[in-house]
Amino acid sequence: MSLNGIASAALSALQTNSTALKVVSNNVANMNTVGYARRVVQQQAIAVGGQLNGVQISDIQRVVDKFLDAESLSAQSASSRYDAQSTVFDQLDGLLGQPGDSTSLTSRFTALSASLGQAALSPTTSANQIGTLNSLQNLASTISTLAGQVTTLRNQVDQQVSTSVSSVNSLIKQVYDLNTQLKTSYVGGDNSSALLDQRDVALQNLSQLVGVRVNDLGDGRVSVMTEDGVNLVSDTYAQLSYTPGASNGTYGSITIQDVNPNSGQPIAAPQSFEPHLASGKLKGLIDARDTDLAQVGQELGNLARTTALAYNTVSNQNTAYPPPSSLTGRNTGLLSTDALDFTGKTTVAVTDSNGNLVKRVDVDFDAGTISVNGSVVGATGGSVGSFVTALNSALGSDGTASFTDGKLSLTAANNNGLALKDDATTPASRGGAGFSAFFGLNDVFTSGLPAIQATGLSATDSAGFAAGGQISLQLKGPDGTIARTANVTLTAGMTIGDAVTALNTAMGGSMTFALGSDGTLSATPASNYANYSFNVTADTTQRGTTGMSLSQLFGIGSSQLTQFASTFAVNPALAATPSRIPFAQAQISATTAVGDTVVGPGDNSGAVALQNVDSSSQSFAKVGGMSAEVASLSDYAAAFYQDIATRGTTVQANQTTQSDRLQEAQTRQSATSGVNLDEELSNMMTYQQAYSAGARMLQVVQQLYDTLLQVQ
């Protein structure tokens, strides 16, 4: 080999090993850089005319394992999903406290039962009355506060959904932009650009939010899609859209739409994104918001409504001593023109301050008559309005009866009191509720929505809703799929049956609405939509002057129970006057006459009956994650805590499993792509020695040239 050939080979050694040392230097410098994959130098011999002529770098490679990269992305998405859910359950547990805490639901029921037991010992003692009121208010406040906190937590999660959507959009655009730059780099022959590390970090961050699949396009770019194949990044990129906030307790959908990268304009129509979410933080947040927290709110509402029905049924069978001078019922949603539709018998007794009978008004709904002190004085009439007019006439100078905006009010004159009692043999009933209970004249608990959903209305009754009112319906699947949406506009002259038919027509067989004989309206999804939730997203309907919408009147829509719980409270009349708590029971029979004692000061039968409510069995409907069951209120409250604990445990177990999976994937990925300092130091020494040898070779060539030049 000539001296020039030797010099050329030596120079190539210097250049090659200098570059190799630079690669080692970058590896060491970035050993703690997140997302950095180490580079290795691939060398090859230089051949000129079949003769060796030094060394050169054939490639600088990023050391990555595509399988481990894909597994890391998948594990990251799964782990982030359950991390998000677990965080929400931790917050929920903080709100609920422990079942044995003094402020827990189970403790509140126990305390109420104890205070009623104390009141039964001395029902007219002010301290016992106030103590019972406090227990009633503590229970109501605990339920309404929890319901409000669950709703607040849902709204907070919803804001996180909105923030995550914005982050997803930013990361998708970042990956697309890096793709564009990397394509240019690859054309220039750079296969180890630092942009690759940046893109890997962006993909890892994106996988935390949504589950993704990544495919190498071979030109420096990658395509990114959801786990079921919806495009996120390719020749175009996708953008998500979401408007946070709930409408009538129902949250909107996230949509996805491809964007033209040249114009920034959307391509084609948007589609729902939730059905394509299988993992990631966004999936966990939506599951927590729309499933976990929504069902917790419904279960709490189920407890609240059943509690109200149980205590109100008993309280309306009793009275206070002395009997109150006025009774104002709840908003029934009824109109004065509605059919009366009561059966059985009831008595409205006017008493003096000592509980002695002043006037007795007996109502026989079956016979359609009203009697005063045993003598028939008139007819009930066929409507609610005609009945109230007849009752008002029968009370005469001893009292008044009125029906306004769906509420029945009774008032005794001359500082007298009122005591109501259904007949023991044939009690009054509308939709299965007694006279006082149906109108809520002596309720213990109230809410912004009716506890009694058996309206007593029939298909032939006038709907009574203002023309033009609209109810918006939605059937939504557990994966976020919107199976059906519909808007129903009510028109003048509709009957209740017409309104039910309009609902069925609008939902096209996906839901079946049926009016029961007691006036309840059931909404049942078709068999292929069994696990879907039925939502009322908006309702501007209004029945007469009651202010009550169709969905409120019949209690339809998944958010109704949560709304019931959030407005759950003690009857304001009892809260203002604890002595009105019905600790006694009116004693009225066929022979009770004016002057007879109807209720006495030592009567504790009402307090005993109220105390027994907590231990009596109640029927609970299937709601949320809890099955239909017959249980006491306290037992259902305990089961409510157990249901949440079970949900949380399941999420935590999944979180642990996926976290371990992620850690294993990242450990293996680091072992493959991470920088090993010992290995790099070894490489550095090798390249240093090779560089020194090349330099020495050049020095020898220089000496030989000098010697040749000195030859004469």
* CB 210 within 8 Å of CB 167: no
- What is the pLDDT, as a whole number, of residue 279? 95
Average pLDDT over residues 693-711: 83
Q: CA 158, CA 82: separation in Å to the nearest integer?
A: 16
More confident residue, 35 or 296: 296
For the cut 90, the answer to whether the pLDDT of residue 421 exceeds it is yes
Q: CA 350, CA 358: separation in Å to the nearest integer?
A: 5
For the cut 80, the answer to whether the pLDDT of residue 121 exceeds it is yes
Identify the band that residue 680 occupies on the pLDDT scale cut at 50, 70 and 90: confident
Handedness of CA 110, 116, 121, 122 (dihedral sign): positive
228-236 long-range CB contacts below 8 Å, 24 or more apart? Answer: 228/276, 228/278, 230/256, 230/273, 230/276, 231/258, 232/172, 232/175, 232/206, 233/172, 233/175, 233/176, 233/179, 235/261, 236/260, 236/261, 236/267
- Could you tell me which residues are beta bridge partners of residue 620? 629
User: Residue 439's CB: how many other CB atoms inside 10 A?
Assistant: 28
The proportion of the chain whose per-residue pLDDT surpasses 70, expressed as a percent, equals 99
Cβ-proximal residues to 15 (8 Å cutoff; 6+ apart), any chain? 56
pTM here is 0.90
SS3 at position 238: strand
SS3 at position 603: coil
- What is the pLDDT, as a whole number, of residue 30? 83
Identify the band that residue 53 occupies on the pLDDT scale cut at 50, 70 and 90: confident
For the cut 80, the answer to whether the pLDDT of residue 106 exceeds it is yes
- What is the pLDDT, as a whole number, of residue 673? 78
First to last CA, the chain: 24
- What is the pLDDT, as a whole number, of residue 677? 85
* CB 478 within 8 Å of CB 291: yes
For the cut 70, the answer to whether the pLDDT of residue 1 exceeds it is no
Average pLDDT over residues 131-146: 97
For 262-281, write each residue's pLDDT tens digit. Answer: 888 899 899 999 999 999 99
* CB 184 within 8 Å of CB 250: no
For the cut 80, the answer to whether the pLDDT of residue 330 exceeds it is yes
**41-69 burial by CB neighbour count: b if 16+ within 10 A, else e?**
beeeeeeeeeeebbbebeebebeeeeebb
User: Residue 631's CB: how many other CB atoms inside 10 A?
Assistant: 15
Average pLDDT over residues 7-21: 82
SS3 at position 269: strand
Lowest mean pLDDT among 51-65, 195-209, 498-512, 581-595: 51-65
* CB 166 within 8 Å of CB 243: no
For the cut 90, the answer to whether the pLDDT of residue 45 exceeds it is no
Q: CA 177, CA 51: separation in Å to the nearest integer?
A: 45
Identify the band that residue 390 occupies on the pLDDT scale cut at 50, 70 and 90: very high
For the cut 90, the answer to whether the pLDDT of residue 454 exceeds it is yes
* CB 477 within 8 Å of CB 532: yes
Q: Provide the CA 45 distance to its chain's centre, in angstroms.
A: 66
Q: CA 520, CA 553: separation in Å to the nearest integer?
A: 9
Rounded to 10 degrees, the C-alpha dihedral 452/456/457/459 comes to 120
Q: Exposed/middle/buried for 630, CB within 10 Å: 0-12, 13-18, 19+?
A: exposed
Average pLDDT over residues 661-668: 89
For 232-258, write each residue's pLDDT tens digit. Answer: 999 999 999 999 999 888 999 999 999
Q: In whole numbers, what is the pLDDT of the chain averaged over residues? A: 92
Q: CA 531, CA 657: separation in Å to the nearest integer?
A: 27
Q: Provide the CA 187 distance to its chain's centre, in angstroms.
A: 50
* CB 437 within 8 Å of CB 312: yes
Give residue limits of the domains in the chain: 3-63+674-710, 67-90+161-276, 322-441, 470-554
For the cut 90, the answer to whether the pLDDT of residue 710 exceeds it is no
- What is the pLDDT, as a whole number, of residue 505? 96
- What is the pLDDT, as a whole number, of residue 192? 67
* CB 311 within 8 Å of CB 568: no
Average pLDDT over residues 303-310: 97
- What is the pLDDT, as a whole number, of residue 697? 83
Cβ-proximal residues to 649 (8 Å cutoff; 6+ apart), any chain? none
For the cut 70, the answer to whether the pLDDT of residue 712 exceeds it is no
SS3 at position 246: strand
Q: CA 530, CA 513: separation in Å to the nearest integer?
A: 14
- What is the pLDDT, as a whole number, of residue 399? 97
